[in-house]
Amino acid sequence: MKTHRGFALILTVVLLALLVLALVALSALSRVGADIAGTALYQTQARQNALLGLRVALGELQQFTGEDAAVTGMAGLTGVPAGAGNPSRHWCGVWADNGQFKRWLASGATDTTIPILSGSDATALLATGALGADGTDKEHVRVLVVPVMTNDQAGNPQRHGGYAWWVGDEGVKLSAVIPDTEAPVPGEKHAIDELIATLSPDAANLVRAETYAQIALVPVTPLTPGQLQGNLHALTRTHHGLVGGVPQAGRLNVNSTSARYWRGVGATYNRLRPADPISISLTTFANRIRDNFAATVGTGKTAGGPFVTTDAFLDSSLLDSALQDSGVTPAEFRDAMQPWLTARADTFRIRAYGEAANQADSAKVEATAWCEALVQRTSDSVTGFGRRFVIVYFRWLGPDDI
């Protein structure tokens, strides 16, 4: 009987140990579940804040560029220099048709002054993952983060996270895909091989590329990620501009100071006029426009402002000086390029960012999210806001895409 009682005691202790182990495991599992739920909640908040940034960007775009008379261009035209460390150079600005400045399409901008973008309140929306190393015509893009605030029960402000957004002008890029029926000059293309030598504008499979990333698969030897990254500020799949309410593919915005872009525009002229090409190097042609744009003044152009019409550009001293000793006159350039040129964009790229803050320590960011959308101005009207913008492409981004 004593042996039996000893065995029962040991069995009881073992069962109690198993019970304690099960309770510890359940407790740990409960904590893990709570942590996962908390992480998921923070991630959801971050995505909601990113979508908030996207909606704000779309609203600003509709308000300031919906009307036909709006003029758009990259911030470089105001005198922001080329090169690394200039994170506002590819901000998109909006002007009225009389040249009066209206708005920078980026979070943190409240007037004509571009804020300091090197502090902890700024974030990158295009950096190494999107563009490669920072450099001339590959400048990274930064914007300010807008805090999301509420008041607690005592009336004290409490930060729950933040959002940021940037709008890019797709019109200051060459289009890789231009359907024949949508081209300003039927059957003609942009000279995208000036930017990427192995990417022929006549490639049969080019039209099958549905996104910018898929362009890499068109050449026999696929492009490297770096080739696409390095040209993101100067090349896109397709952008459309409205002409009398009818969309045309590949209309080129003259309000750019990207030398890479202007090399492509010059090469496009040579493609259209192979018997009378620009005889100076296209780099020289492009650099002259980049370096003299901001200081140029004339009818339809103030210092540090955009060309408000394409005629103002075609008649300008800027084009005349860029074509010096090229064998091409401004009149010949006009004859070939006028159908392609515009002083605004109708297709834009939006990048937005959201973050969620720790509920106990608002300085601690628990989750981040990024998204990107391409938006197109359509022929439909919105009462009081010009023509309607619609989202034609959307994707969530990861840190490696930034």
Note down pLDDT in tens along the chain; length 402 residues: 455 566 676 777 777 777 777 777 676 665 655 556 557 999 999 999 999 999 999 999 999 999 999 999 999 999 999 999 999 999 999 999 999 999 999 999 988 899 999 999 999 999 999 999 999 989 999 999 999 988 777 777 889 999 999 999 999 999 999 999 999 999 999 999 999 999 999 999 999 999 999 999 999 999 999 999 999 999 999 999 999 889 999 999 999 999 999 999 999 999 999 999 999 999 999 999 999 999 999 999 999 999 999 999 999 999 999 999 999 999 999 999 999 999 999 999 999 999 999 988 888 999 999 999 999 999 999 999 999 999 999 999 999 999
Q: Any idea how long the chain is?
A: 402
Contact 352, 330 (CB under 8 A): no
Instruction: Give how many domains the chain has, as a whole number.
Output: 1
pLDDT at 4: 59
| Residue from 190, 324, 162, 194 nearest 253 by CA | 190
pLDDT at 156: 79
Kindly calculate the radius of gyration of the chain based on its CA atoms and give it in whole angstroms: 27
Q: Say how many C-beta atoms besides its own lie within 10 A of residue 302's C-beta.
A: 16
Query: How far apart are the C-alpha atoms of 263 and 166, rounded to whole Å?
Result: 25
pLDDT at 27: 67
Query: How far apart are the C-alpha atoms of 397 and 402, rounded to whole Å?
Result: 8
pLDDT at 389: 98
- Bridge-based pairing of strands 101-104 and 92-95 is antiparallel
DSSP lists the bridge partners of residue 144 as 122
Query: How far apart are the C-alpha atoms of 310 and 97, rounded to whole Å?
Result: 12
Residue type at 101 in one-letter notation: F
The secondary structure of 73-121 as a DSSP string is EEGGGGTPPSSTT-TTTT-EEEE-TTS-EEEE-BTT--SSSPPP-SSTT
pLDDT at 225: 92
| Residue from 246, 230, 229, 247 nearest 238 by CA | 247
Contact 145, 122 (CB under 8 A): yes
pLDDT at 360: 84
Which residues constitute the domain of residue 136?
1-402
DSSP lists the bridge partners of residue 242 as 247
Decide: residue 147, CB within 10 A, 0-12 exposed, 13-18 middle, 19+ buried.
Answer: middle
Instruction: Tell me 301's DSSP state.
Output: B
pLDDT at 143: 98
Using DSSP, state whether 168 is helix, strand or coil: strand
Query: How far apart are the C-alpha atoms of 253 and 272, rounded to whole Å?
Result: 18
Contact 382, 66 (CB under 8 A): yes
